[in-house]
Structure 1
Amino acid sequence: MSIPHTNGQPLIRLRGLRKSYNLGQPAEVEVLHGLDLEVKRGEFVALMGPSGSGKSTLLNVLGLLERMTSGSYELLGEEMNGLHDEGLTLRRRRALGFVFQFHHLLPAFTALENVTLPALMTEGFVSEAQRAHARELLAAVGLAHAEHKRPAELSGGMQQRVAIARAVALKPALVLADEPTGNLDQASSSDVFSLLRQIHAEQGTTFLIVTHDPRLAARCDRLVEIVDGRIERDEAIATGAAHPA
C-alpha cells in the first residue's frame, strides 16, 4: 500500500548536511557529504547502502543523537542546528521513536514497564492512562499475555515487539529504525516488519528504516540509497517515480 504524500511542510528537510569526526585533527574524516533530503509525513522509507556508507551516522543525526557538522536539518519545521543539548533532548523525546537491531530493553523491567519507560523519562511518572495505553500497545503487538514477563523470559522476536511498542508509546511523528529485524530469523523478521507496516497504516506514523535486506526494502514505499556519504538513489518503489535528491 502506498501512502500519498501530504502537502505542506516536510517532516524532515536536510540541506547541505555534513558530518565529520575528529574535527581539526590529522585523522579528521567527513562521513556525510552535503546531503539534501526531504521526508514527508506518512512516508515509509527504506534507507540502504553498503557498510560504511554513512547510513547509521545519518540516522544518529536525524535522531538528534549526534550533532551535524554543518548544513541545515529541519524537523517538523524547526531548525535543529544550533539547539543546546537540553533542547535536542526535549525534541528527541517528544517527536522521535527508535527501534534498533538489538532491542535494548531494561532487563529488570517487565514488558509493560519497558513500554511505559518513554513516559517515565519524559514526564517523570507514568499515569494510569499511559499504563492503559501501554497495555493496548502490547495487545496490538500480540503480547497481552506477557505484560508481566521480563525480557529474559521472551523470545527475540517477542522482545523486538516490546521494543516497537515502546517506540510508538508516545505517538511520535517519526520512528527511526536501524536494522530492526537484523537479529531475527526470517520468519520473525517478516512478522516484525509486518507489524511496522500495520502501525504505519493505522497511525500514519512516518518510518525511516535502515535495512540491508532487499526483500524488506521492497515492502517499503520509497527507497533512499547512500553510497560513500552521498545519496545515489531516491525513488518511490511502487511507481518507480524518482524523488528529487
Structure 2
Amino acid sequence: MTSSSVANRTPALLELADVCKRYNVGQPNETEVLHGVSFSIARGEMVALIGPSGSGKSTLLNILGLLERMTSGSYRIDGEEMVGIDDEALTLQRRIKLGFVFQFHHLLPAFTALENVTLPALMREGRVTPRQLERARAILDAVGLAHAMGKRPGELSGGMQQRVAIARAMVLEPPMVLADEPTGNLDTASSDEVFALMRRMHAELNTSFLVVTHDPRLAARCDRVLELVDGRLVRDQVLGVTHTQDHAVRQ
C-alpha cells in the first residue's frame, strides 16, 4: 500500500508540494535545509516523522506550524494556500487549525491544570466562555486528570504534565495536532501512557497527528511513517497496523 492510496480515499488536510527552505539567501553562506519536500496528510491520519538530528525535521515542523515561512513551494491547509498570506492571517489559521504538543510541556507554572488548558481559548478570543470552560473540564476528565484540575504543574508527574499539554492542544478540537518529541523527556512507561492517550484522542475525535519522534517503537504504532534525511523525504510508508494496545490510560 502506498501513502497516495490513503490520500485518495480521504481528503487531504495538509498538502506540501516542492517545499524548499534556504537561510541567508543570496549570501555566500546560503544554506538549503529542505530540498523539494512533498507529501500530504489526510484527515484522521496519525503520521510519524523520523530522521537523524540535523535532517530538517524542526524546520519542517515550524513551516507546518506556520511559525516559519518556506523559501519556495506550496503549503495548503484544507485546500487554502498559506504562501503569500499576511502574518495576521497565518496567526488566525494557526489558532483555528492547529494544536501543538512539545517535548517540554510549556505549562505556565503559576496556573492550575484547568487554567493551562483554557489558554488556547483565552488567546484566540480574549476570554474563556462557560462552554469552553466546561470543555476544558471534560477533556481533562477524558485524559484521566479530573482529580488534578486545581493542581499546578509542579505538583504533577512528568507524564501527567504531558497529559495536560495534550488536553490543552485538543481543547479547541483542531483538525491537526503537531507533536514535537512529545515523549522525549519521559520514561518508557510514561511514554507509552502519553502515546496511548494521543492515539485515543486521535481515534475519538478523528484528529490528524504528525508526531516527530526518535523512538522507533512509537513510530511503528502510527498509521504512516515519513523519514527525512538531509532535508529530503526518503521514505513515505503506510504501516497498516492495528493498535489494540493504545486505549488504556493509567490514572
TM over 0.5: yes
Cα gap change, 1:22 to 1:5, in 2 (>3 Å): closer
Residue of structure 2 equivalent to 1:214: 216
Q: Structure 2 CA distance, aligned partners of 1:26 and 1:142?
A: 54
Structure 1 contact 5–42 (Cα < 8 Å) conserved: no
For 2:104 and 2:30, the matched residues in 1 are separated by 30
- Match of 1:30, SS state, is strand
**Structure-2 residue corresponding to 1:233:** 235
Aligned match of 2:108: 106
Pick closer, same or farther for the CA change 1:56–1:196 going to 2, 3 Å: same
* TM-aligned CA deviation for residue 23 of structure 1: 2.0
Say yes or no: does 1:116 pair with 2:118: yes
Is the 2:34–2:56 Cα contact (8 Å) retained in structure 1? yes
1:115 and 1:134 in contact (8 A); partners too:
yes
Which residue does the alignment assign to 1:140?
142
Q: 1:84 aligns with which of 83, 86, 108?
A: 86
Q: Secondary structure at the match of 2:12?
A: coil
Name structure 1 gaps, 5 residues minimum: 240-245
- Could you tell me which residue of structure 2 aligns to residue 242 of structure 1? none
Answer whether contact 1:5 1:43 (CA < 8 A) is retained. no
Q: Is the 8 A contact 2:177 2:208 kept in 1?
A: yes
Q: State the distance in 2 between where 1:8 and 1:223 align.
A: 17
Tell me, yes or no, if the aligned pair for 1:48 and 1:55 is still in contact at 8 Å: yes
Q: TM-score, normalised by structure 2?
A: 0.92
For 2:23, the aligned partner's letter is Y
Q: CA deviation at 1:6?
A: 6.8
Offset, 1:94:
0.3
Structure 1 vs Structure 2: percent identity of aligned residues?
68
CA distance in 1, matches of 2:77, 2:176: 10
Cα offset, 1:22, TM superposition: 1.9
2:161: which partner in 1?
159
Asked if the contact 1:9–1:77 (Cα under 8 Å) also holds between the matched residues in 2, the reply is no
2:49 counterpart (47, 62, 75): 47
How far apart are the structure 1 equivalents of 2:234 and 2:199?
Answer: 25
* Paired residues, number: 236
Q: Counterparts of 1:9 and 1:148 in 2: how far apart (Å)?
A: 40
* Greater shift in the superposed pair: 185-194 or 21-30: 21-30
Equivalent residue, structure 2, for 1:11: 13
CA deviation vs aligned residue, 1:165-211 (integer Å, no higher than 9, x gap):
00011100100000000000000000000000000111100000000
**Separation in structure 2 between the aligned mates of residue 147 and residue 210 of structure 1, nearest angstrom:** 28
CA offset digits 1:34-67 (Å, max 9, x no partner): 1111111110000000100011111110000100
In 1: Cα distance, 2:17 partner to 2:7 partner: 20
C-alpha separation in 2, matches of 1:28 and 1:143: 48
Distance apart, 1:125 and its partner CA: 0.3
- Taking the aligned partners of 1:8 and 1:183, their CA distance within structure 2 comes to 34
* Structure 1 position 171 matched with structure 2 position 141: no
What TM-score do the two structures reach when normalised by structure 1? 0.94
Alignment of structure 1 residues 189-200 onto 2, 5 Å? 189-200=191-202
Counterpart selection for 1:180 from 167, 179, 182 = 182
Q: Which runs of 5+ in 2 are unaligned?
A: 1-5, 242-251
